[in-house]
Amino acid sequence: MLGNEKGYSLIELMLALTVIGLLAAVAAPKVSHVLAVSRTQKVAADLQMLDAAAVMYEAEKGKPPAAGDIKVLEAYVENIGSVKPPTGSTVILDGAEHEVKGTAYLLKKETNGNPRATCDDKTAESFLPSRGSGTGSVGSGKGE
């Protein structure tokens, strides 16, 4: 009576689960890298937006914004209270993943006196890939 029953054997199920596990193990680092690239691009875009807001502030007020909290730019950035770096997450700097330690973006004065938005004392350029290097981009050929 049981000879007519169709189904999978225990060996077939274990083989299928092993294949799925191997595929997941291969895919996990790629997903992690893609998420790090995404967070890096968000930080770079946030810092560029804050730099542009600082330029608008200076153009309107005739003086650069004070160094420190970015809240002085709230007239130029919608929902400035929600503009925060991805704390504890990894971003790509110099081709390697680093953890974000700062909990807020800050305005810092450069040597020329102009304010710049920073995340962990790094400006937007630090989070952008250098031209032609492919650093930080998905599918750059590194590790593939």
Whole-angstrom Cα distance, residue 125 to residue 82? 22
pTM for the full predicted model: 0.73
Mapped onto helix, strand or coil, the DSSP state of residue 66 is coil
47-59 in b/e form (b: 16+ CB < 10 A) is: bbbbbebbeebee
pLDDT per residue of the chain (144 residues) written in tens, 0 to 9: 556 777 888 999 999 999 999 999 998 888 888 888 889 999 999 999 999 999 999 999 999 999 899 999 999 999 998 999 987 788 888 888 889 988 899 999 988 888 999 999 999 988 887 654 444 444 444 443
Structure tokens of 60?
A: 């309107």
Q: Are 89 and 38 in contact (CB under 8 A)?
A: no
pLDDT at 7: 83
Whole-angstrom Cα distance, residue 86 to residue 119? 10
Domain ranges of the chain: 9-127
pLDDT at 97: 86
Structure tokens of 30?
A: 């790629």
